[in-house]
A = this chain, B = another copy of it.
Amino acid sequence: MSGQLVVQKFGGTSVGSVERIQAVARRVASRARAGDRVVVVVSAMSGETNRLLGLVAELSGNPSRRESDVVVASGEQVSSALLSIAVEAEGVPARSFLGHQIRVETDDAHGRARIRSIDAENLLQALAQGQVVVVAGFQGCDAAGNITTLGRGGSDTSAVAIAAAIGADVCEIFTDVDGVYTTDPRIVPHARKLDRISQEEMLELASLGAKVLQIRSVEFAKRYDVRVHVRSSFNEEPGTFVVPEEARMEDVLVSGVALDRDQAKISLASVPDRPGLAEKIFSPIAASGIIVDMIIQNGGAEGHTDVTFTLPRAELSEALALVSKIGEDIGAGDVRGESDIVKVSVVGLGMRSHAGVAARIFETLSREGINIQMISTSEIKVSLVIDEKYAELAVRALHAELVEKESPS
């Protein structure tokens, strides 16, 4: 069989109406007619998952996750079969597969299950018969045959996992943007689309909330060596390839400057510094389901210390009530919450080999008069918490200094 073996993933917006399903079908069919073997992975029609979850919520404040998964998985079931029908209407044979029909086996963590294995035999057989295969994304089944779902954005993970299972040449993720940009083009109009980005950098960007790819799908791509291509649903231009570090080629210092506005912080001042302090603060917060991001502890004066942490903005008031109570228990001098902050992050493999990137970041912000409230670094990332009013200024300044100056233009 000539041609490439391709996995193509289309999200909910791309299959959100009969007309859009037909547009996807035309694209898929023309690829198949060109000689490629095509596996398509689809999300539910946009709005459908929320409609179904709404029905569940009306019936119970605390629904069984097993049953919610059965309800929600119907969304991808419908869109996969509809797309299959639409591809056939284009004159190309097609068939759908549900998660359990290709045994996308997961653990039993309903609503956020992790894929363990995929039995690709049925799927490969259909491809060998010249059929386009359309797989319902986002869903699998546990060892006992119960339907599971992978959590929001799970169709990306389905697509990459299937690409790994069949040894696809490429896994194309279709989105409403042209690819991965060096920063948000709404803030920096001359932000550059990256032709390639390393898996490690993509992981950092995904963890920063850049919505291009679900983080677990990048982990899968890294572990199973899947070539991922993020590209536009609206045109035929190449997008951004997510590649292993060694295939990164371009020797770029910094790949991206990311901005996360969904941030708030809570500070406990003058806490008596005793062993087990961090546990006393963060165990009850974790138990209440609030996800803490950055944590900083500064040794203060006379056996006292200051603790500050960031969290999603929507959870500030709930967390503040909880932490105020904790503050009393541990004798903190003051507990304060702030929601007018943002997190700016600079991501780049180049940080590994080039010393002084962090220093250039600090200098740049200082030059603009921007005070840095918190700093957190990893091997290939520097994240900074700053006042929200400086958000765009900081992004523009850092992009100019670390991307534009360095790029071979």
Residues on A lying within 8 angstroms of B by beta carbon are 18, 21-22, 52, 55-56, 58-60, 63-64, 66-68, 70-71, 73-74, 77-78, 80-82, 84-86, 88-89, 95-96, 98, 100-101, 145-147
Contacts and interface: CB of A to CB of B under 8 A. Distances in A.
Contacts of A59: 18, 21-22, 82, 85-86, 89
B78 A64 contact: no
A55 B82 contact: yes
A85 to B, nearest CB: 5
B60 A78 contact: no
A146 B100 CA distance: 11
A20 to B, nearest CB: 11
Copies of this protein, total: 2
B60 A89 contact: yes
A85 B98 contact: no
A52 B18 CA distance: 12
Nearest to A122: B145
A196 B187 CA distance: 76
Given A58-B18, A74-B74, A67 B84 contact: yes
B74 A60 contact: no
Q: Which 7 A-B pairs have the closest CB atoms?
A: A70-B81, A74-B74, A67-B81, A60-B89, A71-B81, A18-B58, A63-B85
Given A55-B78, A71-B78, 19 more contacts: A18-B55, A18-B58, A18-B59, A52-B78, A59-B82, A59-B86, A60-B86, A63-B88, A67-B81, A67-B82, A67-B84, A67-B88, A67-B96, A70-B81, A70-B98, A71-B85, A74-B74, A74-B77, A77-B77
Nearest to A66: B95
A120 to B, nearest CB: 15
A85 B100 contact: no
Contacts of A147: 98
22 contacts: A18-B58, A18-B59, A22-B59, A55-B82, A59-B82, A59-B86, A66-B95, A67-B84, A67-B95, A67-B96, A68-B81, A70-B77, A70-B78, A70-B84, A70-B98, A71-B77, A71-B81, A71-B82, A71-B85, A73-B77, A74-B78, A77-B77
Nearest to A45: B55
Contacts of A56: 82, 85
A63 B21 CA distance: 14
A78 B53 CA distance: 11
Contacts of A95: 64, 66-67
Contact of A64 (B60, B70, B88): B88
Nearest to A70: B81
Contacts of A18: 55, 58-59
Contacts of A78: 52, 55, 70-71, 74
Contacts of A60: 85-86, 88-89
Contacts of A70: 77-78, 80-81, 84, 96, 98
Most B-side CB within 10 Å, residue of A60, A81, A145: A81
Most B-side CB within 10 Å, residue of A21, A82, A146: A82
A145 B85 CA distance: 19
A51 to B, nearest CB: 10
B101 A145 contact: yes
